Amino acid sequence: GAVVSQHPSRVICKSGTSVKIECRSLDFQATTMFWYRQFPKQSLMLMATSNEGSKATYEQGVEKDKFLINHASLTLSTLTVTSAHPEDSSFYICSANGGPGSPLHFGNGTRLTVT
């Protein structure tokens, strides 16, 4: 079945630094990928839609200059958390689907801790 790989699974960084998270579709091409954020014991909140070859679409309230998204190929989208602060600590998870009506396939998520 379709597999989405997300890396790293866990990262700890210092406040003020930037962190890049990668999301790869391993056996299918994904023109669109999605980035979600999940706080403890809460649901997944859509942050942005990553479109191959064009700018990402951000949800209301999500700072595009802070959460930089690049989707340079049909199999790779990256999320860079710039100038990270402790409040950015969270679980980030990416997803992609392989066709109309196909269920989203999720990466394993990245637990970001900013100290």
Partner 1 sequence: AQTVTQSQPEMSVQEAETVTLSCTYDTSESNYYLFWYKQPPSRQMILVIRQEAYKQQNATENRFSVNFQKAAKSFSLKISDSQLGDTAMYFCAFMKSRGNAGNMLTFGGGTRLMVKP
Closer by beta carbon to partner 1, 82 or else 98: 98
| β-pair type (4-7, 57-58) | unpaired
Closer by beta carbon to partner 1, 52 or else 82: 52
The stretch among 15-23, 62-70, 75-83, 106-114 that binds partner 1 (CB under 8 A) is 106-114
Q: How far is the CB of 36 from partner 1 (least distance, A)?
A: 8
Instruction: Please count the other Cβ atoms lying within 10 Å of the Cβ belonging to residue 14.
Output: 8
* Contacts for 45 with CB less than 8 Å, ≥ 6 apart: 36, 37, 38, 39, 59
- Residue 92 contacts partner 1 per CB under 8 A: no
User: Footprint of partner 1 on this chain (CB under 8 A)?
Assistant: 30-32, 34, 38, 41-44, 46, 49, 51, 91, 93, 95, 97-104, 106, 108-109
